[in-house]
Structure 1
Amino acid sequence: MTAPDLSALRPQLPSPLHPLDDERCTRRGVTLLLKRDDLIHPALPGNKWRKLALNLRAAHGRPLVTFGGAYSNHLRAVAAAGRLLGFPTTGIVRGHELAGRPLNPSLAQCAADGMRLVFIDRSTYRQKHQPATLARILAEAGAADAYAVPEGGSNSLAVQGCTDLGRELHGQAEVVAVACGTGGTLAGLAAGLAPGQEALGIPVVGGGFLAAEIRRLQTEAFGAPTPNWRLDDRFHAGGYARTTPELDAFAEDFEDRHGLPVERLYVAKLLHALLTLTEQGTFPPGTRLAAVITGRPGPESDDDTPSR
């Protein structure tokens, strides 16, 4: 089997980089730039494209199996890739109780794109990182010979794919910030940046596990962690898929100011963090601050974060 021709999907690369005129930044002497990775591809936007591209080539057209929650953008992206490139896909969905119920809009789109959905209990799902459990899950799903991509798409190939994001920003910003769910995008972004640039991760989930996960991913992908990234975990609003009245008001105000729809679970937390930090004087005057917009609002909540 040959690797699929990803150029046939016509991704918009490099993704656009747009300055944003926001008085909260300009009065502090900070230039805010939006790296519009959400515009890379309509069906595989943002970090979904960057994480999947090398994995799709490595699969060489084999059936592909992956994992996600009931509202997973990652599952939708894999299903869309399968439809567009012509290979079978299987989605292992967290929540055995969902079997037999009407599909929500996210899973219905996966099914419409040809993805076979397999629902497993949450306890087994949490153990899928264990080789024996993973092998049993795949065997029972009839996907033992498929190419497996982990939940959220974060593996060493995904991290390597995200280095292009850093390279596209050489000379464009002193600080590049991204919202973090599984850590793969930040791990690759940091490795792709030029000397003197810093990657700032804004976790959207609590628990404090991301730093170790990012170091692990970078070690697997590059042999060692890079020193040019940091996390600020004060802006997850209580945990994954959680929000606060302050965050909701911020997102609505940002949309009104700039006419840009804001995805709530990742992008809103990122932008809220950056504007808050800017007003606190965290970034020196003259700083160019790039915010990576990894996705667009969808019909329902995303659910790509690891189950922990």
Structure 2
Amino acid sequence: MKSLNTLQEFTPLTPLNHPLFDEKAIQVWIKRDDLNHPTIQGNKLHKLKYNLAEAGQLGKKSLLTFGGAYSNHIAATAAAGYSYGFKTIGFIRGDELANQPEKWSPTLQTAYQNGMQLHFLNRMDYRQKTRAHFFQQLQQQFPDSYILPEGGTNNLAIQGFEELSQQLAMQCPDWTHLYSAVGTGGTLAGLIKFSAFFCNQPRHILGVATLKQASYLIPTIEQLSGVRHNQQGLAQWQLLLDYCGQGYGKENSEIYATRKWFEEQFDIPLDPVYTNKMIYGFLEQLATGNIPPGSKVILYHSGGLQGRSPEKQI
């Protein structure tokens, strides 16, 4: 089986030059992890790296996981299975989509094209996915499957962000702020955990929640990262809850306008579920004075570009 390590690339940290940033006396870069793999893109490459190795060592033949209609994790798992010889099975939230493939999101269409078997669950059954009895049933029904949690967030996924954090420290040793989109919290937890390994000055790590009422993620991020929310130290982090618009997978007019502005100014595509809200949150924080002059800000592009419908390409 091919190793995922062989395709992990050192991605560029691209400077973003604009009069707005000059006016605020800050420097801004974007970490282009949307370029780290053609199909297993962005943060999902880091999350899957050690999980795929573990699945191979255990002799598993398929990958089984969970997600919504706009889940980048679903698309990345399907792509990883296609590329590395695993069958893939996705349990999708929303049984109303089961018999209406014409209503599938670009993400679900991509997963299906990469061979993923899609099983649609109603929302009540989907909530059972973390219950022990449901997990045991899946293990019995799919004994050859390696089961990944929603979003791919587990301890092996967190480990995958050590290399990314080291890259950032090499490319910009004195960065002060890092913004990342947050879905299940794994990417943010990994960045928090390992950023402190490669610095000797405080870093501010800001997670922009992409879904409503996401404060329930804070204990999970604390547990996975080993760092408490708003704790003083080398890795100081916050979960920002006010920039999700109408909720997960939804762009209100302000967020859409921000995405179009950013793409026109910098010729860098954003996805319509995660990085759009990260950019929106960053710009709102800048406008309200939450980023002091002299800051060196990194915006983490976590990929997800398969979620763009054709008419939204730039």
**What's the TM-score bracket when you normalise by the shorter of the two chains?**
0.7 to 0.9
* Alpha-carbon displacement from aligned partner over 1:93-115 (angstroms, at most 9, x marks no partner): 22334334336343333233222
More helix by share: 2
Q: Is the 8 A contact 1:166 1:191 kept in 2?
A: no
3-state SS, counterpart of residue 305 of structure 2:
coil
Give 1:281's aligned residue.
289
Aligned-partner Cα distance in 2 for 1:29–1:124: 51
Matched, 1:5 2:3: yes
Aligned-partner Cα distance in 2 for 1:145–1:225: 37
Aligned-partner Cα distance in 2 for 1:295–1:211: 23
Aligned-partner Cα distance in 2 for 1:108–1:236: 24
- Equivalent in 30, 53, 64 of residue 34 of structure 1: 30
Q: Is the 8 A contact 2:67 2:92 kept in 1?
A: yes
Aligned-partner Cα distance in 2 for 1:92–1:296: 19
- Equivalent in 176, 179, 201 of residue 177 of structure 1: 179
Q: In the superposition, relative to structure 1, how do residues 274 and 107 fare at CA in structure 2: closer, same or farther (>3 Å)?
A: closer
Aligned-partner Cα distance in 2 for 1:239–1:185: 19
Instruction: Report how far residue 177 of structure 1 moved.
Output: 1.2
Identity of aligned residues (%): 35
Give 1:245's aligned residue.
253
Aligned-partner Cα distance in 2 for 1:277–1:100: 42
Instruction: Report how far residue 4 of structure 1 moved.
Output: 4.6
**Residue identity matched to 1:16:** P
Q: Is the 8 A contact 2:110 2:306 kept in 1?
A: no
Higher mean C-alpha deviation, range 258-267 or range 108-117: 108-117
Q: Is the 8 A contact 2:69 2:107 kept in 1?
A: yes
3-state SS, counterpart of residue 240 of structure 1:
coil
Equivalent residue runs for 1:127-276 within 5 Å: 127-139=128-140, 142-170=141-169, 171-193=173-195, 194-195=199-200, 196-207=202-213, 208-219=215-226, 225=228, 227=231, 228=235, 229-276=237-284
RMSD: 2.1
Give the gaps of 5 or more residues in structure 2.
310-314
**Residue identity matched to 1:270:** M
Q: In the superposition, relative to structure 1, how do residues 57 and 42 fare at CA in structure 2: closer, same or farther (>3 Å)?
A: same
Q: In the superposition, relative to structure 1, how do residues 109 and 251 fare at CA in structure 2: closer, same or farther (>3 Å)?
A: closer
Q: In the superposition, relative to structure 1, how do residues 76 and 100 fare at CA in structure 2: closer, same or farther (>3 Å)?
A: same
Aligned-partner Cα distance in 2 for 1:71–1:238: 15
Aligned-partner Cα distance in 2 for 1:238–1:255: 21
Aligned-partner Cα distance in 2 for 1:45–1:172: 26
Aligned-partner Cα distance in 1 for 2:82–2:305: 22
Aligned-partner Cα distance in 2 for 1:295–1:213: 23
* Alpha-carbon displacement from aligned partner over 1:128-153 (angstroms, at most 9, x marks no partner): 111112222444xx313411111111
Give 1:89's aligned residue.
88
* Alpha-carbon displacement from aligned partner over 1:142-193 (angstroms, at most 9, x marks no partner): 3134111111111111111123222221215111110111110010001111
* Alpha-carbon displacement from aligned partner over 1:211-256 (angstroms, at most 9, x marks no partner): 122112225xxxx658421122221113222332222222212222
**Residue identity matched to 2:40:** L
Q: Is the 8 A contact 1:261 1:296 kept in 2?
A: no
Q: In the superposition, relative to structure 1, how do residues 97 and 76 fare at CA in structure 2: closer, same or farther (>3 Å)?
A: same
Instruction: Report how far residue 279 of structure 1 moved.
Output: 2.7
Q: Is the 8 A contact 1:37 1:47 kept in 2?
A: yes
3-state SS, counterpart of residue 40 of structure 2:
coil
Instruction: Report how far residue 299 of structure 1 moved.
Output: 4.8
Q: TM-score if structure 1 supplies the norm length?
A: 0.87
Aligned-partner Cα distance in 2 for 1:176–1:165: 13
Q: In the superposition, relative to structure 1, how do residues 202 and 71 fare at CA in structure 2: closer, same or farther (>3 Å)?
A: closer
Q: In the superposition, relative to structure 1, how do residues 277 and 120 fare at CA in structure 2: closer, same or farther (>3 Å)?
A: closer
Q: TM-score if structure 2 supplies the norm length?
A: 0.85
3-state SS, counterpart of residue 130 of structure 2:
coil
Q: Is the 8 A contact 1:4 1:56 kept in 2?
A: no
Give 2:97's aligned residue.
98
Aligned-partner Cα distance in 1 for 2:83–2:30: 28
Aligned-partner Cα distance in 1 for 2:279–2:298: 10
Aligned-partner Cα distance in 1 for 2:50–2:162: 12
